Amino acid sequence: MNKATAVALSFGLAMSIAAPTEAAAQAAQKVAPKKAGKAVAAADLSALVGTDVEGAARAAEALGQSAAPAAHEALLDALAMGLPAAVAVPAILGVAKHPAPPDVVALVRYANHLNPTVRNTAITVLAAYPDPTAHQVVVDRLGDQVAVVRASAAAAAAKGKIKKAVAPLLVLMSRGEEPAARALAAMADVELAARIADQLGKVPAEMLSLCLGAILVRADFGPDTARVEVVRAIGKIDDKSAVTALQDYLANSPKTPVRPSRTEAQMIVDARLGGGGK
């Protein structure tokens, strides 16, 4: 499935969690204002569980901006009852603005929503929660059938530096999925960089060059002895993408003080291009 098709599906698939019934909405409207206190507008609480989807989405956004505990509780209550996709997205984002441990249960549920856009949103925010359950869901979504969801899970794994995601990310990279390569590069320490370098011959050359090259240009990756090893690993890749990766490193790293990694990268580029790499 190509990216365009996957994105189209994110808007076309039916939601898996039903909107609240009229009776549930009326019940929530009676209870929510009592929880709200003066800091939360009763109109937003009522609109959140109303039948006007656009109004509910606006209310979710407004409640998400509020630091009042009652606003957070109202969003969680609404998510628990079930929200349409167009409302669930701002509600999830609103909850994540003021994260708390109880959020994870609701977010995990929406990370399995039929709508890919909802899944993407839930997966993205789950990475910020230091909870093993939240991180496991991110790892599980790396196996999603929709490419854009796998991409979101890869980015979330990188953001949360979820170690359990490394093995499935390597599998995705072996299938030529660029988001996985970029996620691994963002996560890589010296040990992981060496593990990635060992994938030579197991993953497409372009993906390996991209991943190792992205590690090289990270300002926080080092020491330089580790960068030298990455340069050498790229030099073993028999593909023009390896030269591109090294040229990117040369163009995007400081010339002074002199780095052995830059010197070695320049030597490899010159050798590949017949001395015309400078």
pLDDT tens-place string over residues 46-63 = 899 889 999 999 999 999
Q: Which residues form the domain of 264?
A: 188-278
The lowest-confidence range among 14-23, 92-101, 188-197, 250-259 is 14-23
Q: What is the mean pLDDT of the chain?
A: 87
Decide if 73 is inside a domain. Answer: no
Does the residue 132 lie in any domain?
A: no
pLDDT score, position 277? 46
Give strand pairing partners of 203.
200
Q: What average pLDDT score do residues 156-168 get?
A: 96
pLDDT of residue 127: 93
Predicted local confidence at residue 166, as pLDDT: 98
Q: What is the 3-state secondary structure (H, E, C) of the chain?
A: CCHHHHHHHHHHCCCCCCCCCHHHHHHHHHHHHHHHCCCCCHHHHHHHCCCCHHHHHHHHHHHHHCCCHHHHHHHHHHHHHCCCHHHHHHHHHHHHHCCCCCHHHHHHHHCCCCCHHHHHHHHHHHCCCCCHHHHHHHHHHCCCCCHHHHHHHHHHHHHHCCHHHHHHHHHHHHCCCHHHHHHHHHHCCHHHHHHHHCCECCECHHHHHHHHHHHHCCCCCCCHHHHHHHHHHHHCCCCHHHHHHHHHHHHCCCCCCCCHHHHHHHHHHHHHCCCCCC
What pLDDT, on the 0 to 100 scale, is given for residue 131? 95
Task: Give the pLDDT of residue 21.
Answer: 33
Residue 198 burial (C-beta neighbours within 10 Å; 0-12, 13-18, 19+): exposed
pLDDT at position 71 over 90: yes
Lowest mean pLDDT among 25-39, 72-86, 104-118: 25-39
Q: What pLDDT band is residue 275 in, cutting at 50, 70 and 90? A: low
CB 154 within 8 A of CB 180: yes
pLDDT at 27: 37
pLDDT above 70 for 82: yes
Question: What's the confidence (pLDDT) of residue 251?
Answer: 97
Residue keyed to tokens 């076309």: 12
What is the pTM for the complete model shown?
0.81
Length of the chain: 278
Share above pLDDT 90 across residues of the chain, in percent, rounded to a whole number:
81
Is 13 a residue whose pLDDT tops 70? Answer: no
Residue 250, domain member (yes or no): yes
User: pLDDT tens across 186-220, in order?
Assistant: 999 999 999 999 999 999 999 999 999 999 999 99
Which pLDDT value is given to residue 49? Answer: 86
% of the chain surpassing 70 pLDDT? 84
Higher-confidence position of 245 and 50: 245
Total number of domains constituting the chain:
1
With respect to residue 67, please indicate whether it lies within any of the assigned structural domains. Answer: no
